[in-house]
Amino acid sequence: MNYFEGLEGTVSSESDSQRTLTPYVTGTSVIGIKYKDGILMTADMGGSYGSTLRYKGVERMKPVGKHSIIGASGEISDFQEIMRYLDELIIHDNMWDDGNSLGPKEIHNYLTRVMYNRRNKFDPLWNTLVLGGIKNGQKYLGMVSSIGVHFEDDHIATGFGNHLARPILRDEWKEDMSFEDAVKLLEKCMLVLLYRDRSAINKLQITKITEEGATVYQPYALKTHWGFTAFKNPANGGAEGSW
C-alpha cells in the first residue's frame, strides 16, 4: 500500500463548492538557509489584500512534525489548507506508533505530489513553499511551487527574494555559519526586500530547526533608514517622470 494513498483525497472532496480561483490575501518572500546547526527561515508578517497591505501580524512559518519547518509565500487561506493536509499526515504517521517519524525529505516529496495534483485539476494551491529540516544529522532544504516545480539547495528564497536576495546569499552564505551570522545575513536580505518590495514590511519573524527541535521566535522590527539620496530625489538618479 502506498503510504500517502488516500491522504490528500480525504481533505479535498470533489463536492467542494468553494475554490480559491485567484489569490486574495497574500504574503511575500520567504528565505531559508542552512547554517552550522540546522535550518533558519524568515518571512515578514505582512498580508496584502490586493495592493493594500492590510494585515501586519500574519505568521507564514510553522513547525511540521518533529524534524521540519515550513514557510509559504502566496495565498494565506491556501497555506492554511496545506497545514490541514500536513496535520492529518502527521497524525496518520503517529498512529503507526512504530518509533519512526517523517523527515523533511518525505514531507517535501508529499507536498510536491499535492501541489502537482492540484495543478493538474486546474485548481492549484496558490503558494510557493519552503520546507526545511534536519533528521539524523542530515540538513535538508527544498521548495515547491504552485505547479509542482521543486528542488533542493543550500539557500532558497521565494517571490522577489528569488531575484533580490539570492545574489546576496550566493556571495555571503557559508555552510558553517554560526546562528548569529546567519541571522545577520537573513536580516540583510529582508532589509533589501523591504526597500524594494511594496508588499514587504519591517516586522519579521525567524524560525529555526535543529536536532533539538523547532523554535519560532517572537516577531521584531528591523531598523530602517530612508535618507538615501536616491530616495529623497529619485529624478536625480535618472528616473524620469518620478515624483
Q: Is the pLDDT of residue 243 over 80?
A: no
Tell me, yes or no, whether 196 lies in a domain: yes
**Residue 10: pLDDT band with limits 50, 70, 90:** very low
Mind listing the pLDDT tens digit for each residue in 37-83? 999 999 999 999 988 999 999 999 999 999 999 999 999 999 999 99
Amino acid found at 205: Q
**Res. 183: pLDDT tops 50:** yes
What integer pLDDT is reported at residue 58 of this predicted model?
Answer: 95
Three-state DSSP at 105 gives: helix
- The SS3 of residue 8 is helix
Distance CA 155, CA 189 (A): 12
**CB 129, CB 70: distance < 8 Å:** yes
Q: Looking at 20, 26, 158, 215, which residue is catalytic? A: 20
Residue 11, domain member (yes or no): no
Please give the average per-residue pLDDT across 168-190, as a whole number. 96
Angle at 41 between CA 63 and CA 197, to 5 degrees: 125
Mean pLDDT across 172-190: 96
Q: Which amino acid is at 113?
A: R
Give the cell for residue 82: 496545506
Please identify which residue in the block is written with the cell numbers 518572500. 29
What is the pTM (predicted TM-score) of this model? 0.85
Q: Is residue 19 part of a domain?
A: no
Q: Residue 97: inside a domain, yes or no?
A: yes
20 is known as an active-site residue: yes
CATH number at residue 209: 3.60.20.10
15, part of any domain = no
Structural domain containing residue 83 = 24-237
- Quote the CA–CA distance of 218 and 215 in Å, as a whole number: 10
Asked if residue 192 is part of any domain, the answer here is yes
- The pLDDT value given to residue 238: 61
| Measured distance CA(62)–CA(230) in Å, rounded | 37
Say if 5 falls within a structural domain: no
Is 175 among the domain residues? Answer: yes
Q: How sure is the predictor about 19, in pLDDT bands with cuts at 50, 70 and 90?
A: low
pLDDT at 16: 53
Split into its structural domains, the chain has a count of 1
